[in-house]
Structure 1
Amino acid sequence: MRLNKQAVNNILQMSFVQGLNYILPLIMIPYLLRTIGVENYGRVAVATAIVQFLLIISDFGFNFTATQKIAVKGKIDNKLISTIYIYKIIILLVILLVTILGLFYIKNRDEILFVFGFFVFFIGQSLIPAWLFRGINKMVYVSLLTFISKLTTLILLFAYINQTTDYYLMGLIYGVPSFITMILSYFIIRTYGFKFVQVSWEDLKEELSYGKDMFLSNIVGTFYTTLNPIILTIIAGPYATGIYSTCEKIIGVLNSMTNAVSQAVYPIVCKKINENPYLEVKKYKIPISFLFFGWFPPFILVVSLVLNFNSEWILELVNGSDVPNGQISLLNIMIFIPFAISLGHLLGIQSLLPLNERVSVRNSIFKGAILNLILGTAGTLIFGVIGMGTSVLICEFVVSLSMFFYLVRYFKTNNRNKVITPLN
């Protein structure tokens, strides 16, 4: 298997800086557990999960649909970019109104700053045009801006988080760096010729219609990703959420590798599939995406096996003290989640999406979300945090298996030379 020069450059750029990005959280987690404690860390995890849910509404699938359109066109599209920004600004105003109304019911000054800080974090994350940088094959900007943000966050963290009661500042510590990088990203895209142009409601409706399947995929996907800490808090309490979130951050390092490589090759795969979607190997039709990403799931599996045998040492390093009961077993289960997710990237994001099978991706994720809601809730009630970790692992494999069957069906019902050009 050979990757073209652009793919290799993208992967190296994303992987190197993303690796630095995830070293910083591994420094932050032990520090936070020592200073604000497991329970307050659980509160921060819940607030972060809520922000991630709101970002799904703000993104509306543009991270995939807009990236695909820009990659195929190979240039800046001012009308498309302006349309997306207008939608995001509308959503921001709505959430700002809801936030202001909510603040009237909070009497504690610290809690007000906590909520306000995470709203600032949401603004910054929402308006950073990562989808645009990926579309024009400039992923290095995504990584560099993220690195700047996380480095600034780390500096603020050590400067202002020194005791348990300081947890209320975490929103601003995440929010201020994110807001700064948002401003920097705007000046960067201006250098590539972007300028706001007038768009109509019809333009907005068209983009929302095109992205609705990915939006629904992301919404239902939150049931077994960002909503899991909320479910855990309700059923098992903030302490269990802190244990789970620590393991989630550890496997997040592997997931970041998957995201980095996937983001690096996605615009290239979109362009290649648009030209010729398949390779033929011994009369079997293979998506061209397998050339660019097929090597990655086996690699992640090997890394997961190595980490599984060193889970106790990893947790002792992260916690900086005695490992909470059950956390080693939880990590031994969750460490294989990145492998299942990498299969989903190969079969879904890298194969079905560029083939414009967005409904198939949506249906697969919907099945996983329903299963997770049932298994996650029941498992947590019966087995506690172990039940939640097991549920996530099962559901990720179910999603990947569903995508595999959809991909096989697509092969059987479409000719090899079918042209994939429904993009405007």
Structure 2
Amino acid sequence: MSTRNVIIALYSVYALNYVLPLVTLPYLSHVLGPAGLGVIGYAQSIAQILLVVVDFGFGMSSARKVAVNIDQPAVINRIYWSTTTGRALLAVLCTLVLVAWSFAGHMTQAERGATLLASLVIWGCVITPACFFEGTQRLPVLAGTLLVSRVGMLIPLFLFVKSRDDVMLAAALQYAPTFVCGVILTVMLVWKREILFNVRIGFSEVLAEAKDAYHIFLSSALTSVYMYANVIMLRMISGPGAVGYYVAAERLTNALRACTAPAIQAFFPKICIAYENGDREYVHKVNRGFMVAFAALAILILIGFSVLGEWFVRRFLGEAFGETFRILRVLVFVPAIVGMTTTQVMLTVIASGNQSVLKRIYLYGALFHLVQAPVSIYLWGGVGTACSVAATELFMLIGVYRVSNRINHGQIAVRSQSQPQAQPVKREMVVERD
């Protein structure tokens, strides 16, 4: 499938994948209220932090290896089993941490139940063979399966979640789609014999994969400080109601943020190969195009929110969520900033094999956030949380852009993955560039 067709398919399916949570958001906000929505958001944030540990950076590092070894099924199977084994070991540890957190912390019964149910998210990450689909440019299949899983969860959500007493059921139905999607995709690949069971791997191979993914993991772990820990800090300082206002705003901006992902993911395998082949002209052209597109997106969002923002929030979420509008006035700029940062991280730093440089950038970003976020949250609650996130994302963009500029000017060498590249892919890239 050509890159253009991959992008079209991804945007079509991803749009539906992110429209569906927006369909459930107003329903849950009216049925569960700010506090109930805050319970789900709090448990989900804990799961997302542990999910960073389970993924351990395998998602990006393994996808890159699959992309550059696309003609070698045996190699791809060894990558898959090493990655899955590593994730499963980490998932066992994280599940124990989740259970301990649930019973050791000061939680209500609903918060404890929702937190335990969040283990579905952790194990969904383990069984979803995402590296297969991203590395072989079949992300539309992955996204489409996730869409089907989410649609399937809508029926019981609307039928059985009727009051604030149904928080745990709502949480389970919100967390289940990733797990269901992983089961479906794994069965499909086994049926087509793309995943083989006669592959033997040693612990040394798992460690080798972990070593390659380690730098991405450190970056993701540090990113989680200013992405997911905010909700936990807000819960401790201001309570579940404030979390509900913030989570509603975050989900709306996450839908916008998701618009940045499909095109970048579609180009990622070919940018990896372009770096392998020394095709810097193609790399520069793609990167420039993305940066201009996201700058234009920021302008459009500013205009649209200025005109319709307050009206939309009150009609969509209800009169009780007026605080969400004030939070959105800050968060609405974040998707464009994140899109620019993700472009540089995926299509330059990781694609060139220089993921090791990311840990220093994200360490500085995490430290910057830890210094200013608690003060902002204490003084201004949800709005302060939004301000701290926006400031940190801008800080990260500046740091990542500086490193990317050094890579593209030859000051940091490109690391080869040393497998001969498929000529059809190279020819397709030349046609697209022309």
When the two structures are superposed, what TM-score results if normalisation uses the length of structure 1?
A: 0.90
**1:91 equivalent in structure 2:** 90
The residue type paired with residue 206 of structure 1 is A
* 1:308 pairs with one of 285, 305, 308: 305
**2:432 equivalent in structure 1:** none
**1:174 equivalent in structure 2:** 174
Which deviates more from structure 2 when the two are superposed, residues 300-309 or residues 382-391? 300-309
Query: Conserved in 1, the CA contact under 8 Å of 2:245 and 2:321?
Result: no
The residue type paired with residue 331 of structure 1 is L
C-alpha change, 1:122 and 1:159, in structure 2 (3 Å) is farther
**2:14 equivalent in structure 1:** 18
Task: Please state how far the C-alpha of 1:223 moved relative to its aligned partner.
Answer: 1.0
C-alpha change, 1:346 and 1:110, in structure 2 (3 Å) is closer
**2:322 equivalent in structure 1:** 324
Cα deviation, 1:112-136, whole Å, max 9, x if unaligned, reads 6534422233212332122221001
C-alpha change, 1:350 and 1:419, in structure 2 (3 Å) is closer
Distance in 2 of aligned mates of 1:116 and 1:302? 41
Query: Conserved in 2, the CA contact under 8 Å of 1:232 and 1:241?
Result: yes
Segments of 5+ residues of structure 1 without an aligned counterpart are 281-285
C-alpha change, 1:258 and 1:186, in structure 2 (3 Å) is same
* 2:58 pairs with one of 50, 59, 62: 62
C-alpha change, 1:423 and 1:94, in structure 2 (3 Å) is farther
Query: Conserved in 2, the CA contact under 8 Å of 1:121 and 1:174?
Result: no
Distance in 2 of aligned mates of 1:269 and 1:338? 22
**1:42 equivalent in structure 2:** 38
Distance in 2 of aligned mates of 1:51 and 1:151? 22
Distance in 1 of aligned mates of 2:368 and 2:80? 36
* 1:386 pairs with one of 383, 388, 397: 383
Segments of 5+ residues of structure 2 without an aligned counterpart are 420-434
Distance in 1 of aligned mates of 2:67 and 2:353? 14
The residue type paired with residue 139 of structure 1 is L
**1:243 equivalent in structure 2:** 245
Cα deviation, 1:72-98, whole Å, max 9, x if unaligned, reads 112441111011111122123333444
The residue type paired with residue 401 of structure 2 is F
Query: Conserved in 1, the CA contact under 8 Å of 2:120 and 2:175?
Result: yes
**1:399 equivalent in structure 2:** 396
**1:122 equivalent in structure 2:** 122
Distance in 1 of aligned mates of 2:386 and 2:235? 14
The residue type paired with residue 330 of structure 1 is I
Which deviates more from structure 2 when the two are superposed, residues 102-111 or residues 268-277? 102-111
**1:283 equivalent in structure 2:** none
Q: Does 1:278 align with 2:276?
A: no
**1:365 equivalent in structure 2:** 362
Which deviates more from structure 2 when the two are superposed, residues 327-336 or residues 132-141? 327-336
Distance in 1 of aligned mates of 2:290 and 2:10? 14
Query: Conserved in 2, the CA contact under 8 Å of 1:74 and 1:135?
Result: yes
The residue type paired with residue 42 of structure 1 is G
Task: Please state how far the C-alpha of 1:189 moved relative to its aligned partner.
Answer: 2.0
Q: Does 1:79 align with 2:78?
A: yes
C-alpha change, 1:250 and 1:423, in structure 2 (3 Å) is farther
Distance in 2 of aligned mates of 1:159 and 1:173? 12
Task: Please state how far the C-alpha of 1:404 moved relative to its aligned partner.
Answer: 1.4
Task: Please state how far the C-alpha of 1:26 moved relative to its aligned partner.
Answer: 1.0
Cα deviation, 1:351-395, whole Å, max 9, x if unaligned, reads 111112213322222222221222211111122211111111111
Cα deviation, 1:134-164, whole Å, max 9, x if unaligned, reads 0011001121121012112222211221001
Root mean square deviation, CA, Å: 2.4
**2:229 equivalent in structure 1:** 227
Distance in 2 of aligned mates of 1:169 and 1:257? 29
Distance in 1 of aligned mates of 2:99 and 2:335? 38
Identity %: 21
When the two structures are superposed, what TM-score results if normalisation uses the length of structure 2?
A: 0.88
C-alpha change, 1:141 and 1:162, in structure 2 (3 Å) is same
Task: Please state how far the C-alpha of 1:110 moved relative to its aligned partner.
Answer: 6.0
